[in-house]
Chains A and B, each alone.
Chain A
Amino acid sequence: MIGEIERKKGAAGRLRFGIQLAAALVQNANFKGFFTGRIYQGPVKNVCVPGLNCYSCPGAIGACPLGSLQNFLGSRTFKFPYYVLGLLLFFGALLGRAVCGFLCPFGFIQELIHRIPFPKKKLRTFKGDKQLRYLKYLILAVFVIILPLVLTATPAFCKYICPAGTLEGGIPIVLLHGNKLNMKIGALFDLKMAILIAVIVLCLIIYRPFCRYICPLGAVYGLTNRVSLYHLSIDSARCVGCGTCSNTCPMAADPLHSPDSPECIRCGKCAGVCPTGAIDLGFRAGKSETAARKQTD
């Protein structure tokens, strides 16, 4: 039985890794841009990609949904962002936070960093972890919506916080166009580099710290987990309530009591370790219900 669980877990993990790698490569398929420093300017860039991928990355072939949203909200002649919100709702209603778990290149980078061995024990959760998770909603409201609306033409999240922009856009562009940009590099770049370094260091200790506490895109998709067609369900007839799923969840969510938790990135690790196979993930998974609720009924 344990051997079977391990085999299933390994196969599912490899499949997810393959999808994450392919998604990161496809969304950054302008490979020559990494050598020339010129960003892609073709027609595909009028489509927002589902995950966090800076459109100033030399490899990016699509637009960043958060950058595009802030651009609309901060426009001098305000335009309601029908197109960007429509795309976000589409990705959210279809996949929910599975976008984070499977398609987001910055989430993938964080997972790769987390695999690096760290001398001290890695943290799954800690005191204050739950409260800190609300920070991403505050950042969504303040930096993605309110500040761009108030300070015209200022994509505040991209400008002051986004470490994906620094890693995928800032560093390659500065390296490739250093001579032209040297004069402009100042306190802002230092601040963003400090945020990026802090995220990288935290990744060594905590699984996906940026997704857990900061990412406004994760906050948006988390809200759609309740309705997304791709979802997680628990067969209460097979669930024995052992809690292995909740103890295994790398995001420290609780699939047993809250299968539609906004923190669940649908990575499927819980389904892989369930000793009775009670957890199902997919578009055709059974009706989502908590085993605990069923027991109390």
Chain B
Amino acid sequence: MSGFFSKQRIIASRGYNRWMVPPAALSVHLCIGQAYAFSVFNDPLTKVIGITEPAPDDWKLTTLGWTFSLAIVFLGLSAAFGGKWLEKVGPRLTMLVAACCFGGGFWISALGIHLHQIWLIYVGYGIIGGIGLGLGYVSPVSTLIKWFPDRRGMATGMAIMGFGGGAMIGAPLAVLLMDHFKSATSVGVLETFLVMGSLYFVSMLIGALTIRIPPNGWKPEGWTPPIIENKMITKSHVHIDRALLTPQFYLLWLVLCLNVTAGIGVLGQASVMIQEMFKGAVTPAAAAGFVGLLSLFNMGGRFFWSSASDFLGRKNTYIIFFALGAVLYASVPTMGRLGNIGLFILLYAVIMSMYGGGFATIPAYLADIFGTRYVGGIHGRLLTAWSTAGVAGPVLVNYIREFQIEQGVAKAEAYNVTMYIMAGILAAGFLCNMLIRPVHEKHHMRHDEFDELDGVFPHQAASDAH
């Protein structure tokens, strides 16, 4: 079993088409992206006993809210701690474990509903499912970068776009299944969890079985690395543990954290914000449509901006995110005052595309700065920035809004300060990005340094190239 799933068994033979790798990565990311649609289960889960109305013993929304928070925390932790293991065992075994955890998380949660034990849902979807999320998220990244040295941004953008698309599949699928299984004695969530867990397990397993890694030193036929030296793209490799000793790692951590904090903070408030800023003009159904539109731009931005970064350069792409983002955030209050809803939607759409773009471009940025050898593991460790922002962003926006309202500011005006603070956060991100320089040579792996994860010396890896 371990032999079949080992790294050695998945080295591609000559003639393998590298375009098989992005759909293998998408098979995983389209599943785990479901996490962002977990809220569709909230309402039915508060009626598991009462069926039509919440019964006194039914779970409260606040109790259920911990499930998603736990999943996001364990996503960050498993990506951070599992990244080095991923580099050692390869993407197939990592994807298999991710499939077992994510699918198994649904099944354990179904048992939790059957026994009406909330801790089983916390452990199932929150902890075990969260581990599946983290391992699944990072597992194909370094493989894609190695297969597409000519288009690193586009390759990782395709997979990470899948994470954005996963929620778009997960939400209607869950609604469809719950409607199908709903009866006089069941809200249909238990059965939906069993079916979705099985579907996701199989789909992720297909990804695990089809993914291949390129032989060491492989490059696309007819492609030669650019002759003009770009100092921001290293040809060396920085060891996964050594990366933590460089200022570049922490600057990139801040770049991701600040970009996500600003985006996630306003994304969670988008529906309420548009209704309060354009009172009477926007119905709750239209506001839900606005959130749907934003998720489309969030997903599209992941592919668009990461692909564009292959031409613009990674640093320049983040300069655009932070500079243009700060201007757009600061313009939102003016758009609200002018009552121009069309421009307001357009501003938000561009902001959300850059929020998604920030997620999708970071792996290629890491590969440029630290080399490709350990990029999966380094990316995993950097994802703790996402977990941090996932907590900080909404808390910051809610706190500022409440504070404003307590001070007597009108609800429609209460978002203005928030938007200016978010613009300030992006300005700080701009500075961090500007400080990023190539990693000092002393951190590069030596030519004769043994690579404990691959079991080879760098010069051996180079000689394997064909």
Chains A and B form a bound pair: no
